[in-house]
Amino acid sequence: MTAIAPATPRVIYQRPERLTDVSTRYCPGCGHGIVHRLVAEVLEDLGVDGRTIAVAPVGCSVFAYEYLAYDWCEAPHGRAPAVATGIRRVRPDAFVLTYQGDGDLAAIGTGEIVHAAARGELITAIFVNNGIYGMTGGQMAPTTLVGQRTTSSPTGRDVRTAGYPVPMTEMLAVLPGVAFAARGSVADPSSIGKTKALIRKACEAQIRGAGFALVEVLSNCPVGWGMTAQESMRHLKEVVVQTYPLGVLVDRMEPARPKSAKED
């Protein structure tokens, strides 16, 4: 008699309590919703969702208020790290998060993110990089790839006039105040799982008082890129990562090993 293999347990998705059950304003295929879910899951797992204060500026990231049920504070374009710094210093008991796009963090907000990182502010920054100004019409951003066509670079980004893409996470990683800096992606299920682990590590850096933490998440913009959702995910996985490699850039969370008498 042939033995019957046990049925594979059915996994039922449990929506995080702080992820609201409403229709989305994002364009079809947008990666922001995936990042929202990861943030909600991590904060719930770490038990800090009840004391989280999040900051979002102008751009597609502003819609996060509707989908993540935390206390939110809106910041002027690019100023989320400055606003988050003030909140964290006034409310040291709170867990403070910024949720920013690349047109925001890497352009008008360059100064704010650099100096917050240099000071080692105890905040966690989620940096969603889709390589374009999504909300305002698909213009070229500091992160736009060389040769990429946008509404303000219809023939493709030309390094002779627009320079090269700005690797924000690599730039910030060299600052001593940065406890953790990494880059993930939402291109496929495997990448999404790894990105969740990176977000968790960045949140733990704040909980442990290690310093500033940043996770850049490579995301897609099907409408801005002029692609289908499937094409945009494939482009993210095969092309975008050539300019923005995935992985941990710096991890200074572990305390230095004490020197022994012999080493002295």
**DSSP annotation string for 171-236:** HHHTSTTEEEEEEEE-SSHHHHHHHHHHHHHHHHHHHTT--EEEEEEE---HHHHT--HHHHHHHI
pLDDT of residue 260: 42
The domain ranges of the chain are 32-251
What is the 3-state composition of the chain as percent helix, strand, coil, each rounded to the nearest 5?
40, 20, 45
Question: Could you tell me which residues come within 8 angstroms of residue 218 by beta carbon, excluding any fewer than 6 positions away?
Answer: 129, 130, 183, 184, 185, 186, 187, 236, 240, 241, 244, 246
Low-confidence spans in the chain with pLDDT less than 50? 256-264
The Cα–Cα gap between 21 and 43 comes to 17
Nearest to 117 by CA among 23, 249, 220, 261: 249
pLDDT of residue 2: 61
The Cα–Cα gap between 167 and 129 comes to 10
**Model pTM score:** 0.90
Nearest to 102 by CA among 124, 74, 134: 134
Helices (H), 2-142: 32-46, 64-67, 80-90, 102-103, 110-118
44 secondary structure, DSSP code: H
Strand, coil or helix: 22? coil
Question: Could you tell me which residues come within 8 angstroms of residue 44 by beta carbon, excluding any fewer than 6 positions away?
Answer: 16, 17, 18
Question: Could you tell me which CATH class the domain 32-251 is placed in?
Answer: alpha beta
In 60-74, which positions are buried (b, 16+ CB within 10 angstroms) versus exposed (e)?
Answer: bbbbbbebbebebbe
Q: Are strands 95-101 and 71-74 parallel, antiparallel or unpaired?
A: unpaired
**In what helix (H) or strand (E) does residue 161 lie, and over which residues does it extend?**
helix 159-162
